[in-house]
């Protein structure tokens, strides 16, 4: 059978044998009673890693983001968020449907908002105007191409948010990619946010699970109640938490390989005449490139590549996304680049 090189997302990774073993051997209990020792260990481990007092284990990154929004806003308020953020594009309108808030989009540069943009988006405190309740930042920024927020930008946005007494949430689905690329400690980012979400099922390679972290224990308690409301309170979730613990222990150190592979792919793609890409824009494990005026439509390109054994996503009228992860080797990246070149030329 032809090998499939799956670059659609870093969510497609399958648990390794060692991870499955850790899952099989996990001590478990009923997490709704707070009695799952492995969930508790994961929450404590992640909180310590990010320099936060508490963490809450949830099924998905979407739920972690939505709990952060629900717990820190009132219906009828507004949340500032970058226009291509996951919260805007890929969460099925949950912020409006479940928290009753309006999203105020700010168009960033490759997903990154500037401090002036954020400041301009904050609503005045007059009786007519909707009130800004929360500012969300995505780091790394998925649709921006795995872009990393400079810490200095976050610090400036934080200062503005504090001056207006507005809390901040970090969608840190891929925070460890930012941490790996910058070599900054995770807490150096996390310290600027009231809440942080962290995904175990992206580059870290766990089959499911995310965490919501905060220093505010009352806020975590509130989020726990909403987790129940949203159907995310699980029972013997230690089976999943064990995978998360294993991932934090064994899969953070290898993220650099994914970044190197992404850069390698970008440099190869740059040599294809039909492709537009700036390899310098590839900062982590996400490669976004454009194919303009091709005889094949984006959907047709994706379909032909699939027949040739390469899976990736079309994410716009001319844009494609390829994501590197622990189930694609450097050899597979070279093979994928050869196939993409053959199909597009
Ligand atoms: N991103 C997925 C898709 O949903 C688009 C992907 O393939 O990249 N925040 C960010 C920045 C994300 O990229 C994602 C998932 C999430 C949150 C949501 O995580 P899950 O899928 O666990 O709900």
- Confidence band (pLDDT; 50, 70, 90) for 81? very high
**pLDDT tens per residue, range 192-234:** 999 999 999 999 999 999 999 999 999 999 999 999 999 999 9
Report the pLDDT value the prediction gives residue 3, as an integer from 0 to 100: 79
Report the pLDDT value the prediction gives residue 303, as an integer from 0 to 100: 97
Q: For the chain, what is the radius of gyration of the CA atoms?
A: 20
Q: Is the pLDDT of residue 78 over 80?
A: yes
The mean-pLDDT minimum among 212-221, 273-282, 290-299 falls in: 290-299
Report the separation in Å between the CA atom of 297 and the middle of ligand 1, taken as the mean of its atom positions: 25
**Torsion 86-92-96-98 (CA) sign:** negative
Mutation test residue for ligand 1: of 199, 211, 244, 311, the one with most atoms within 8 Å of CB:
199
Report the separation in Å between the CA atom of 82 and the middle of ligand 1, taken as the mean of its atom positions: 15
Supply the mean pLDDT for the chain.
97
DSSP state of 31: G
Ligand 1: atom nearest CA of 201 is 22
Q: At what angle do helices 255-270 and 175-182 cross, to 10 degrees?
A: 80
Q: Tell me the HSE value of 221 on the side-chain side, using a 13 A CA sphere.
A: 3
Mutation test residue for ligand 1: of 10, 86, 189, 288, the one with most atoms within 8 Å of CB:
86
Exposure string of 288-316, with b = 16+ CB inside 10 Å and e = fewer, is: bbebeeeeeebeebbeebeebbbbbbbee
Q: Is the pLDDT of residue 317 over 80?
A: yes
Class of domain 254-344: alpha beta
Residues of the chain with CATH 3.90.1150.10: 254-344
Report the separation in Å between the CA atom of 91 and the middle of ligand 1, taken as the mean of its atom positions: 9
Q: Is the pLDDT of residue 169 over 80?
A: yes
Closest Cα to atom 1, ligand 1: which residue?
86
Which tokens sit at 231? 């159907």
Asked if 135 and 80 touch (Cβ cutoff 8 Å), the reply is yes
Which tokens sit at 175? 């925070």
Residues enclosing ligand 1, CB less than 6 A? 9, 11, 60-62, 65, 86, 90, 138, 142, 171, 173, 199, 201, 210
Residues 6+ apart with CB under 8 A from 73: 79, 99, 101, 133, 134
Three-class secondary structure assignment of 174-222: CHHHHHHHHCCCHHHHHCCCCEEEEECCCCCCCCCCEEEEECCHHHHHH
Q: Is the pLDDT of residue 235 over 90?
A: yes
Ligand 1: atom nearest CA of 8 is 7
Mutation test residue for ligand 1: of 7, 8, 61, 138, the one with most atoms within 8 Å of CB:
61
Residues of the chain with CATH 3.40.640.10: 17-250
Write down the architecture of domain 17-250 according to CATH: 3-Layer(aba) Sandwich (3.40)
**pLDDT tens per residue, range 41-51:** 999 999 999 99
Q: What percent of the chain has a predicted confidence (pLDDT) above 70?
A: 100
């Amino acid at each position: 059978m032809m090998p499939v090189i799956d670059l659609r997302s870093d969510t497609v990774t399958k648990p390794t044998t060692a991870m499955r073993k850790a899952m099989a051997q996990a001590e478990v209990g009923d997490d709704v009673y707070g009695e799952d020792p492995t969930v508790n260990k994961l929450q404590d481990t992640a909180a310590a890693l990010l320099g936060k007092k508490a963490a809450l284990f949830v099924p998905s990154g979407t739920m972690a983001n939505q709990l952060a929004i629900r717990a820190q806003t009132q219906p009828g308020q507004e949340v500032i968020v970058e226009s291509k953020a996951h919260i805007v594009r890929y969460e099925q309108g949950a912020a409006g449907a479940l928290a009753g808030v309006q999203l105020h989009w700010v168009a960033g540069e490759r997903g990154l908002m500037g401090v002036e943009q954020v400041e301009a988006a904050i609503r005045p405190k007059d009786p007519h105007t909707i009130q800004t309740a929360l500012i969300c930042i995505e780091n790394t920024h998925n649709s921006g191409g795995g872009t990393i927020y400079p810490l200095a930008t976050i610090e400036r946005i934080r200062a503005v948010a504090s001056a207006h007494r507005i809390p901040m949430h970090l969608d840190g689905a891929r925070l460890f990619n930012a941490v790996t690329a910058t070599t900054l400690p995770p807490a150096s980012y996390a310290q600027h946010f009231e809440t942080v979400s962290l995904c175990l099922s992206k580059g870290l390679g766990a089959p499911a699970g995310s965490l919501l972290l905060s220093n505010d224990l009352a806020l975590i308690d509130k989020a726990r109640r909403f987790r129940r409301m949203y159907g995310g309170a699980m029972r013997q979730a230690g089976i999943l938490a064990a995978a998360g613990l294993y991932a934090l222990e064994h899969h953070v150190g290898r993220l650099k390989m994914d970044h190197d592979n992404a850069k390698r792919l970008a440099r190869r793609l740059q040599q294809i005449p039909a492709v537009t890409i700036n390899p310098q824009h590839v900062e982590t494990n996400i490669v976004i490139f454009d194919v303009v005026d091709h005889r094949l439509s984006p959907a047709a390109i994706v379909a032909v590549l699939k027949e040739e054994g390469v899976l990736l996503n079309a994410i716009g009228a001319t844009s494609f996304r390829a994501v590197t992860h622990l189930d694609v080797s450097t050899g597979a990246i070279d093979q994928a680049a050869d196939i993409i070149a053959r199909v597009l030329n």
